[in-house]
Amino acid sequence: MGKQPAAIVGIGQTHHRAKREDVSMAGLCREAIDRALADANMTLDDIDAIVVGKAPDLFEGVMMPELFLAEALGAAGKPLLRVHTAGSVGGSTAIVASSLVQAGVHKRVLTVAYEKQSESNAMWALSVPLPFNMPVHAGAGGYFAPHVRSYIRRSGAPTHIGAIVAAKDRNNALKNPYAHLHNEGTTVESVLASQMLWDPIRYDETCPSSDGACALVIVDEQTAASSPNPAWIHGTVMRSEATTAAERDQVNPQAGRDAAAALWKQAGITNPLEEIDCAEIYVPFSWFEPMWIENLGFMPEGEGWKLTEAGETAIGGKLPINMSGGVLSSNPIGASGMLRFGEAALQVRGAAGEHQVEGARRALGHAYGGGSQFFAMWVVGSEKPSN
Amino acid sequence: MTVAFDYTRSTGPVIGRFLTGLRDGHVVGGRTSAGAVVVPPLEFDPVTHEPTTDFVEVSSVGTVTSWTWVPEPVKDQPFDRPFAFALVTLDGADVPFLHALDVSSPDEVTTGMRVRVRWAAERTGHINDIACFEPVAALDEVEGGAGGPDRARPQPRNEAATEQSRSGDVPAAPVTGVVTRVSLDYDYAASPEESLFYRGLNEGRIMGQRCPTCQKVYIPPRSACPADGTPTEEEVELSQTGTVTTFCIVNVPFLGQKITPPYVSAYVLLDGADIAVLHLILGVPADEVRMGMRVKAVWKPRDEWTFSLENIDHFAPTGEPDAEFDTYKQHL
């Protein structure tokens, strides 16, 4: 027996903000869950199992938060799983949830991912000095900036490409009422004029630190029949690799390339640039848009920036990317991957509101995490998969 | 090493209501859809899943339903002397909750005994506003007075609060957050391969090891090569010079930062190594650091050496011509 068809029939997210001091972690999760369940026309009583994800425990200082959250998540008397794969966790959590349906284990699975960054300080949590090492670490930006520099050198991309991405995503966010940043009037020039934080990454090319959650209801074929617009899962892939290894490609990681190749094969896609209508890609620093365009195989190596420069990744372009405003506009880390997955599903359901891509039928949701070492991605479509 | 942070917790409306009660000297429970009173209140009802909105003030006197003895308290426990942890069902509540019980020996604890809240001298809206529970009977014996719930009435928590309660109509704002300090102490055990590396640094040498399977030279050496899982074996003393493969200029100040920005954080590929190490570049203005720049290790004075990569103070330019891109591009 092969995989069972599975579909997303409920999507919910919080209003993402720097500090959601009005809610606890449980309350934050429930805000997203209750919206997803309402969207699916279900209650917690209809759910068979719950899969929860969030990024490192040091972010909130709560070890195994799933223990104290179990009751609030409606998991009493039901299976509850927690997933963790650093920044990609929102994506891998959704994939674990969908696997439970595709494997025929459960019919209706609720999945939720969250981060309440205001409870601590991610910059601190990601820069804890390691014994015996040189303490030059400076958060995620400090980690990724050298690799962005390598990309610029390798590809020969003009230095304003990152600013094009940032201006596009910040303007897309204006169309998304849930987005954290609503920075009116962001232009390539204003991004280039913003402070250099981790040279070559500028302030406006950097994701914010957000509190937020995202939840999805993933169901089997029979349950999906009563949904007016299910988003069908056409393929899901996860891949990992070592953080550090001799001659490891940090710009175009092997695990990402392998995952993408496997994903397109699973979804029956031979030319992703032509066959994918839009994509939500994990871009916490602007330059990762062209980097992942290449890693995902939309463009040959060294040419991803050309798609960005030509405006083809804007809404209305050949491959709109991050219509929601992306990670650059909202970054509740643990939820950020699931937001990409959920936004892809919203697009193929025709339910993305102001930031809807007209006629979107197949969309990519993508997340990465750690030192570009965990990858999670899915393709969702408006039609039931044929394979 | 110690990893510590003061976490700022948002309580949400339900736990916030409980903590506001503690600050103001009373214990608040929540009524579930099944009618049970739970202390602290549940944020969401276990049956209907709705947020708890029915709050009930319960007594500060209750009954021990179970307990355990703590003969050797550890750091950050409620007492530095032996004490009991007890499950106490307060009068008016249907389920117990856990707190410390201040008694001097396990002989003084029994299931079913009556205990009361001992309030902290200063209350802030935190579970520690209840300093502990104490036996009702013992107090009565010591003080010779009549027991009963009235005895547990809180004292004013401080002068400001007293002043406020006198003025009467200005209630303190509800509690919406708590600060929780988390502090973790770690002892790091270095592997044999790492020990070689750190002992070398203590002698002014940079030691790597070659993987017997893939022949790559690792710094620091590894107990398992990431490519094939083999422990690195053959010792290789690396050059003190190398090439900057890539870098960033850190301009961001942040909590816990050890080096004052701006500074250059660079991957340095030492001659003879197959993997770069992160280090600091000095001796050249930050905006003049280049990919391919040749650099050498500058050590701290010998009397400051420990067993750390920090024995190398920084890397500085050698003045040699830059390395060709092709010589290090596979290390990006």
pLDDT over 80 at A295, yes or no: yes
Sequence-ordered list of residues with C-beta below 8 angstroms from that of B300, at least 6 positions apart, any chain: B310, B311, B312, B313
Q: Do the domain assignments include residue A147? A: no
State the pLDDT confidence band at B169, using cuts at 50, 70 and 90. Answer: low
Answer yes or no: do B7 and A61 touch at CB < 8 A. yes
Q: Where are the beta strands (DSSP E) in B219-261?
A: 234-237, 241-250
pLDDT over 50 at B148, yes or no: no
Print the domain residue range for A114: 6-122+208-224
Answer yes or no: do B49 and A119 touch at CB < 8 A. no
What's the pLDDT score for residue B76? 85
Amino acid at A122: A
What's the pLDDT score for residue B161? 40
Q: Please report where in the chains the tokens 């070559």 appear, as a residue.
A: A200
Asked if residues A365 and A233 have their Cβ atoms less than 8 Å apart, the reply is: no
pLDDT over 60 at B47, yes or no: yes
Answer yes or no: do B44 and A123 touch at CB < 8 A. no
- Which of A98, A376, A54, A91 has the alpha carbon at shortest distance from A239? A376
pLDDT over 90 at B252, yes or no: no
pLDDT over 50 at B5, yes or no: yes
Tell me: do B201 and B143 sit in the same domain. no
Q: How far apart are CA B282 and CA B315, in angstroms?
A: 6
pLDDT over 80 at A165, yes or no: yes
State the pLDDT confidence band at B170, using cuts at 50, 70 and 90. Answer: low
Dihedral (CA of A34, A39, A43, A47) sign: negative
Tell me: do B7 and B34 sit in the same domain. yes
Reduced to 3 states, what is the DSSP secondary structure of residue B56? strand
Tell me: do B92 and B178 sit in the same domain. yes
Asked if residues A340 and A157 have their Cβ atoms less than 8 Å apart, the reply is: no
Q: Do the domain assignments include residue A257? A: no
Summarised one tens digit per residue, pLDDT across range A229-256 is 999 999 999 999 999 999 999 999 999 9
How far A275 CA sits from the closest chain B CA (Å)? Answer: 31
Summarised one tens digit per residue, pLDDT across range B181-212 is 888 888 888 899 999 999 999 999 999 999 99
Nearest by CB to B255, which of A124, A248, A250?
A124
Here the tokens at position B166 are: 């006198």
Tell me: do B33 and B144 sit in the same domain. yes
Q: Do the domain assignments include residue A259? A: no
Q: Do the domain assignments include residue A26? A: yes
Tell me: do B196 and B306 sit in the same domain. yes
Rounded to 5 degrees, what are φ and ψ at A189? -65, -45
What's the pLDDT score for residue A127? 79
Here the tokens at position A131 are: 């014994």
User: Of B124, B158, B183, which residue is a domain's last?
Assistant: B183
- Which of B189, B183, B165, B237 has the alpha carbon at shortest distance from A128? B183
CATH of the domain at A63: 3.40.47.10
Print the domain residue range for B153: 2-183
Which residues of chain A are within 8 Å of residue B186 when distances are taken between CB atoms? Answer: 131
Tell me: do B271 and B242 sit in the same domain. yes
What's the pLDDT score for residue A83? 96
Here the tokens at position B58 are: 């319960």
What's the pLDDT score for residue A262? 98
Q: Which residue of A has its CA nearest to B256?
A: A124
Distances in Å between the Cα of A281 and the Cα atoms of A59, A218, B35, B247, B254 are 23, 21, 48, 25, 28
State the pLDDT confidence band at B146, using cuts at 50, 70 and 90. Answer: very low
Answer yes or no: do A198 and B176 touch at CB < 8 A. no
Which residues of chain A are within 8 Å of residue B198 when distances are taken between CB atoms? Answer: 132
Mean pLDDT of A269-294: 98
Answer yes or no: do A139 and B252 touch at CB < 8 A. yes
Summarised one tens digit per residue, pLDDT across range B63-106 is 999 999 999 999 889 999 999 999 999 999 999 999 999 999 99
Domain count for chain A, please give it.
1
Q: How far apart are CA B89 and CA B95, in angstroms?
A: 6
pLDDT over 70 at A65, yes or no: yes
Which residues of chain A are within 8 Å of residue B269 when distances are taken between CB atoms? Answer: none
Mean pLDDT of A21-28: 96
CATH of the domain at B22: 2.40.50.840
Question: What is the pLDDT of chain A when averaged over all its residues?
Answer: 96
Domain count for chain B, please give it.
2
Tell me: do B173 and B85 sit in the same domain. yes
Which residues of chain A are within 8 Å of residue B323 when distances are taken between CB atoms? Answer: none
Which residues of chain B are within 8 Å of residue A19 when distances are taken between CB atoms? Answer: 10
State the pLDDT confidence band at B163, using cuts at 50, 70 and 90. Answer: very low
Answer yes or no: do B10 and A118 touch at CB < 8 A. yes
How far B254 CA sits from the closest chain A CA (Å)? Answer: 7
Q: Please report where in the chains the tokens 């990681």 appear, as a residue.
A: A253
Sequence-ordered list of residues with C-beta below 8 angstroms from that of B53, at least 6 positions apart, any chain: none
What's the pLDDT score for residue A346? 98
Mean pLDDT of B270-275: 96
Amino acid at A358: E
Based on the number of CB atoms within 10 Å of its own CB, is B171 exposed (0-12), middle (13-18) or buried (19 or more)? exposed
Helix (H) or strand (E) holding B271: none
What's the pLDDT score for residue B147? 42
pLDDT over 80 at B142, yes or no: no
A117: left (phi over 0), alpha (psi -120 to 50) or beta: alpha
Which residues of chain B are within 8 Å of residue A136 when distances are taken between CB atoms? Answer: 250, 259, 263, 265, 278-280
pLDDT over 80 at A258, yes or no: yes
Probe site for chain A from B49, B188, B314 (most A CB atoms < 10 A): B49
How far A64 CA sits from the closest chain B CA (Å)? Answer: 15
DSSP A298: S
Q: Residue B134: how many CB atoms within 10 A of its CB?
A: 16
Tell me: do B226 and B301 sit in the same domain. yes
State the pLDDT confidence band at A224, using cuts at 50, 70 and 90. Answer: very high
Nearest by CB to B309, which of A134, A142, A154?
A134
Percent of chain B with pLDDT over 70: 90
Tell me: do B123 and B252 sit in the same domain. no
CA angle B194, B199, B202 (to 5 degrees): 135
User: Of B123, B152, B183, which residue is a domain's last?
Assistant: B183
Answer yes or no: do B8 and A27 touch at CB < 8 A. no
Q: How far apart are CA B314 and CA B211, in angstroms?
A: 27
Asked if residues B207 and B233 have their Cβ atoms less than 8 Å apart, the reply is: no
What's the pLDDT score for residue B152? 42
Mean pLDDT of B140-147: 47
CA angle A123, A127, A131 (to 5 degrees): 165
User: Of B129, B164, B183, which residue is a domain's last?
Assistant: B183
* Of B313 and B3, more confident: B313
Question: What is the pLDDT of chain B when averaged over all its residues?
Answer: 90
Which residues of chain B are within 8 Å of residue A125 when distances are taken between CB atoms? Answer: 5
Tell me: do B147 and B21 sit in the same domain. yes
Asked if residues B65 and B59 have their Cβ atoms less than 8 Å apart, the reply is: no
Answer yes or no: do A146 and B265 touch at CB < 8 A. yes
State the pLDDT confidence band at B164, using cuts at 50, 70 and 90. Answer: very low
Tell me: do B172 and B206 sit in the same domain. no
Percent of chain B with pLDDT over 90: 80
Answer yes or no: do B12 and A30 touch at CB < 8 A. no
State the pLDDT confidence band at A387, using cuts at 50, 70 and 90. Answer: low
pLDDT over 80 at B302, yes or no: yes
Could you give the residue ranges of the DSSP H alpha helices within chain B?
12-23, 136-143, 159-167, 192-202
Summarised one tens digit per residue, pLDDT across range B230-249 is 999 999 999 999 999 999 99
pLDDT over 50 at B144, yes or no: no
Which residues of chain B are within 8 Å of residue A145 when distances are taken between CB atoms? Answer: 248
Answer yes or no: do A24 and B329 touch at CB < 8 A. no
What's the pLDDT score for residue A166? 98
Distances in Å between the Cα of B57 and the Cα atoms of B44, B90, B332 are 18, 10, 63
Sequence-ordered list of residues with C-beta below 8 angstroms from that of A61, at least 6 positions apart, any chain: A119, A120, B5, B7, B180, B182
Tell me: do B143 and B198 sit in the same domain. no
